[in-house]
Structure 1
Amino acid sequence: MHETSIGWENLRLFLAVARAGGLSPAARATGSSPATLGRRMSALERALGRELFVRRDRGYEPTPEGRALMDELAEIEARILRLTAAPAGGARPLVKLSAGTWTTLFLLERLDEIVGAPPDIRLRFIAAESVLDIPHREALIGLRNRRPTETGLAGRRLGAVNFAPYAAPGAPARWIKVVADTPSARWLDREIGADAFCEVSTPRNSLDLALAAAGVALLPTFVGDRQAGLERVGETIPELAHEQWLVTHQHDRHLPEVRRTIDRLCAIYDRTAR
């Protein structure tokens, strides 16, 4: 939306600034930056031909015209909330979460913790090795291997990820190779090339074969260490160590269902990191 538009988004931001009494607290509540809010409030005043705020060192104080607009918009806001509220007993809000194969496997084992008891969200896992486009809402939450750098995204570091070779006791020392465009698959391809016992195109199948004592699989330690039938058969690989980040859009992270999901995911990672 263009910043000079008198659309509902700008009016909603006006309410946030007026209620918070300043740009910084309103920025924390809306996910917009103080600079963006300041520009939008100035543009809104020009478009309406009214002075809505008295700018002070310690904040923004609504003028009488600003307070009158607040009163009018409060009624409109209440109507919008009533019209868009989910009906009682209706469908739970959908939260789309994208992650790689291993993170998806880790989270599926903790599904009840994420959806709540009783469930208050409908969680859709999108397991993909590629990075989905959060700005265009292909997913609401993404678990990524790096800090987000795209404009409008927010991130939280969840912890470190390491990879090591795993095998069942007594399994033959032969590699199970994953043919995929991932750092771990590329590393293994460089190390062993065509010298692999078996190749699979889905990372999860390498775990299945390792559990069946067919050979050695390269796995993240947060997966391999939790498999009762596997043990490490080598050191972690420094080249594959990386951070894991939870990523979402600045605006989406304030949606109640997204906020709940983020809090639960972070609690899971905080607990398992101890």
Structure 2
Amino acid sequence: MIDSGKPPIGAANAEAQTGPRTGGPDWENLNLFLAVARDGGLSAAARNTGRSPATLGRRMQGLERSIGRDLFVRHDRGYRLTSEGQALFAELTEVEARISRLTQRPDPDGLPLVKVSAGTWTTLVLLRGVDSLVGTPPDIRLRFVAAEQVLDIAHREVVIGFRNRRPTETSLAGRKLAAVEFAPYAAAGAPDRWIRVVADTPSARWVAQTSGGDTVCEVNSPRNALDLALAGQGTALLPCFIGDTEPGLQRVGNVVSELSHDQWLVTHDADRHLPEVRRAIDRMCRLLSRTGA
């Protein structure tokens, strides 16, 4: 959120501030607006801000009165931004991004840092081609955050994220990449049994439903499933852009069509024109295009 530089307002005082302030809205109300807009309602925003839903509701009414605009359409399922609310949200997220850049600690090596989030398999491809990503000589520093869950780009947990669907947030921009397909792979002579990954992912759930009890080894990291397959311990369900490039593996079944999905490179709309982010995006897209990922 936007850091106004003001000391935090006490909880009792916060409950009392329900109306407009002289001179327009204060930074704190704008911060709370960002939280409600991002979370789509009062309950989720309350958990993330530490304010009660009732306080947030009064604050949003006070903000609307102070600027003379209707920012939300209120319904049973949450708060939806009006067109004026969307415009304010876009402006505030741009201000938030500028403040974040101005207050970012400088890199000790003098190279701009770009944080990247991707799943196990996309991260593996990017790491194998990291020399082509950082430049020669290096002109950016990359920090990879390998995670199956989606990290929050809007809150700058990462700058670039890889996702399996188009972003819907107004503050995010996306570039569509190649479709991802999955198929079973095994080494020659491997026993006919599945290697299960204990994780909450579509591919792991598919193997769990398909394998039944026909498995002797389970792992909690998708990368370890590849290691076991290469060691000839069974069949692993892998993205084709990984399995097809491993000389020690061969396809032992058809593409699992229900697991196929598009892949999107996503970044904050306010960050994507920064020189270091632009270079990272272009280089990653070239690398993934060459590898079929």
Q: Any residues of structure 2 matched to 1:25-36 within 5 Å, and which?
A: 36=87
Q: 1:152 aligns with which of 122, 146, 171?
A: 171
Match of 1:256 in 2: 275
Secondary structure at 1:246 match in 2: strand
**Cα distance in structure 2, aligned partners of 1:255 and 1:110:** 22
**Cα distance in structure 1, aligned partners of 2:207 and 2:150:** 21
Alpha-carbon shift at residue 196 of structure 1 (Å): 1.4
Match of 1:125 in 2: 144
With the length of structure 2 as denominator, give the TM-score of the two structures.
0.64
Mind listing any 5+ residue stretches in structure 1 that lack a counterpart?
8-34, 41-80
1:103 partnered with 2:122: yes
Alpha-carbon shift at residue 219 of structure 1 (Å): 0.3
**Cα distance in structure 2, aligned partners of 1:85 and 1:207:** 38
Alpha-carbon shift at residue 86 of structure 1 (Å): 6.7
Secondary structure at 1:251 match in 2: coil
Q: 2:226 aligns with which of 185, 207, 219?
A: 207
2:117–2:146 contact (8 Å) kept in structure 1: yes
Match of 1:20 in 2: none
1:134 partnered with 2:169: no
Q: Any residues of structure 2 matched to 1:1-274 within 5 Å, and which?
A: 36=87, 90-273=109-292
Secondary structure at 1:242 match in 2: coil
Name the count of aligned residue pairs: 205
Alpha-carbon shift at residue 124 of structure 1 (Å): 0.5
* Alpha-carbon spacing, 1:168–1:84, altered in 2? closer, same or farther (3 Å): closer
Deviations 1:121-158 (A, max 9, x none): 11011000100011001110001111111220000001
Alpha-carbon shift at residue 239 of structure 1 (Å): 0.5
2:195–2:215 contact (8 Å) kept in structure 1: yes
Structure with greater strand percent: 1
* Alpha-carbon spacing, 1:194–1:117, altered in 2? closer, same or farther (3 Å): same
Alpha-carbon shift at residue 273 of structure 1 (Å): 3.9
Mind listing any 5+ residue stretches in structure 2 that lack a counterpart?
5-23, 28-85, 92-100
Deviations 1:189-218 (A, max 9, x none): 111233312111111110000000011000
Give the counterpart letter for 1:269 in structure 2. Answer: L
Question: Once the two structures are aligned, what percentage of the paired residues are identical?
Answer: 62
Deviations 1:224-253 (A, max 9, x none): 011010000000000100001000000011
**Cα distance in structure 1, aligned partners of 2:290 and 2:231:** 30
Deviations 1:40-98 (A, max 9, x none): 7xxxxxxxxxxxxxxxxxxxxxxxxxxxxxxxxxxxxxxxx9x99979x9421111100
* Alpha-carbon spacing, 1:84–1:273, altered in 2? closer, same or farther (3 Å): closer
**Cα distance in structure 2, aligned partners of 1:144 and 1:153:** 12
**Cα distance in structure 2, aligned partners of 1:273 and 1:180:** 25
With the length of structure 1 as denominator, give the TM-score of the two structures.
0.68
